[in-house]
Amino acid sequence: MTASHPPTAGDREEPTGMNTVPLRSPFATTLLAVVLLLVTGGVAAAGPPGTPEQRAATAVEVALRQVGLPFVWGGNGPENGDRGFDCSGLTAFAYGKAGVVLPRTAHAQYRRGPQVPAGAALHPGDLVFYGTVDKVQHVGLFVGQDRMVSAPTFGMPVQTSWYRWRGDDYLGATRPAQATDGVPDPALRETPDPSIPDEPWFDAPAAPPLPR
């Protein structure tokens, strides 16, 4: 079943206009630069990511570079033979480029942790989850300024959107950039099975672009 969360009158202003511009455009390049400044404080992550901040910055950069690719159920991205991504395929790919191995479903990624305490401020690079503890429906990657990047559902490409809105089923967040060894608990390590990917999910209201 696909969860649907249409905008309401109480949503943030102007939650329209999906950001599906390829990152090769000047506008999208500016978007990426702003987010990386938020993540790193102006210090670019160079070389193998060795600190939590560098791992988070790399994951954010990689995820944002996928904006505009199509949603593909069970998809792991063009480098892995798929045209696009599903939600957990995108987050696993982004963090894989940062040296952090994530399990392949949203449910297992949530269980992997480490959990961000309820009410604590989110950091760019955190993973944000929707659904219930028993049935995690969706995962996105928080990029700052109340936005996430995610692969929503059929017909909706990888895009940025608000991470919270009225009537959402937000579950919580994890901070995989803090992983010490980059490898999940063996009990959570999974072999992707295209026959049982995450459920397609209708995403949050699309957010206006980040300010220049």
Give tens-digit pLDDT for 49-89: 589 999 999 999 999 999 999 999 999 999 999 999 999 99
Q: Are 199 and 139 in contact (CB under 8 A)?
A: no
Q: Are 157 and 84 in contact (CB under 8 A)?
A: yes
pTM: 0.72
Please report which helix (H) or strand (E) contains residue 143, including its range. Answer: strand 136-144
Fold assignment, 26-188: endopeptidase fold (from Nostoc punctiforme) (3.90.1720)
C-alpha 88/C-alpha 193 separation (Å) is: 12
